[in-house]
Amino acid sequence: MKINIIPAGIYDANCYILLDETSGEAAVIDPGGDANILIDNIKSLKAKVKMILLTHGHADHTGAVSELRNEFKCNVYINEKDAEFIKKKVPIYGNENENGDKFLKEGDVLHFGNYEIKCIETPGHTPGGMCFLIGNVVFTGDTLFQRSIGRTDFQGGNFESIIKSIKNKLLTLPDDTVVYPGHGPKSSIAFERNNNPFL
């Protein structure tokens, strides 16, 4: 699997373009802004975008959803709890036209090309936070960062929930699992278990 990482939008949220080089199918995680840059990158890969996945509903992770959905005619997946926050226009969540059209929950499995995406509910940063596991790689959004965790002081955030999510859902993954967060550099489950001051 080829992974293109493009920090996008005003907060440099990591947008991940995942490409199955055999089939040419792709999945996009958290297109947070700079739609033209993302679209150009996807077109340069000659990728067929099958889906857009949102780790959560904050605007810095949804800012280019509308443009990419229109360009590639694909579904957008989000947890229903965060979709409700978007509908209610809760501050710092995305706009209604950036909302998902398919809902994700714990245990859902999606496919693009030859890859299987396991969906993991990790509430705490937001009520509907999701992580996506593909083989030995996990995309953690704003739940888990290198040496840090997501903020919980925004509406819908909960510190006890995010710690529980990380310990019960992420730290149980194999040590060599690569962590691709919503902001900043990649890490690993073993590194975070041993070095993250919040854990």
- Summarised one tens digit per residue, pLDDT across range 16-61 is 999 999 999 999 999 999 999 999 999 999 999 999 999 999 999 9
Residue 143 dihedral angles phi and psi, to the nearest 5°: -80, -50
**Predicted pLDDT at 168:** 98
**Predicted pLDDT at 17:** 98
Alpha-carbon span 128 to 62, nearest angstrom: 14
**Predicted pLDDT at 112:** 97
pLDDT tens for each residue of 83-140: 999 999 999 999 999 999 999 999 999 999 999 999 999 999 999 999 999 999 999 9
**Predicted pLDDT at 141:** 98
**Predicted pLDDT at 146:** 98
**Predicted pLDDT at 166:** 98
Choosing among 3.40.50.300, 1.10.357.10, 3.20.20.210, 3.60.15.10, the CATH entry for 2-195 is: 3.60.15.10
145-155: average pLDDT:
97
Domain segments of the chain as ranges: 2-195
Confidence of residue 188 (pLDDT cuts 50, 70, 90): very high
In sequence order, the β-bridge partners of residue 103 are 78
Alpha-carbon span 5 to 37, nearest angstrom: 12
H helix or E strand, kind and range, residue 161: helix 159-165
**Predicted pLDDT at 153:** 96
**Predicted pLDDT at 114:** 96
Taken in order 154, 160, 166, 168, the sign of the CA dihedral is negative
